[in-house]
A = this chain, B = another copy of it.
């Protein structure tokens, strides 16, 4: 599929998709005219890339990580090196802490929202 469709289906801008390809996160064939032709499974991949970005990983780390992930198709095409595993374990712990913080913050927001609703029954 061409870049426009992939953008539409993932909600990610064309700009970002080109950037992902440039960073080695996505692979695309090219038409004879030089336009990108993404495989169907790029959709899932883009979504996972977005999630990893949201989790605070940088593109370089994602690039090392992706080949070690189980694909839609089957097993991973590479096994993570010990060094990468260490790295990912650290990220994992960071994400864990981040989840805790987010849950806290969500609670704070809920409290403020609820307090306001109680004191301001503008219905």
Question: Which A residues fall within an 8 A CB radius of B?
Answer: 48, 50-52, 54-55, 57, 65, 68-70, 76, 79-82, 84-85, 88-89, 91-92, 95-96, 98-99, 101-106, 108-113, 115-117, 119-120, 122
Contact = CB atoms under 8 A, between A and B. Distances in A.
A50 B69 CA distance: 32
Contacts of A79: 115-116, 119-120
A51 to B, nearest CB: 5
Q: Which among A48, A91, A102, A111 has the greatest number of chain B C-beta atoms within 10 A? A: A102
Contact of A85 (B48, B104, B117): B117
Contact of A99 (B76, B88, B106): B106
A92 B111 CA distance: 11
A91 to B, nearest CB: 6
Contacts of A52: 105, 108
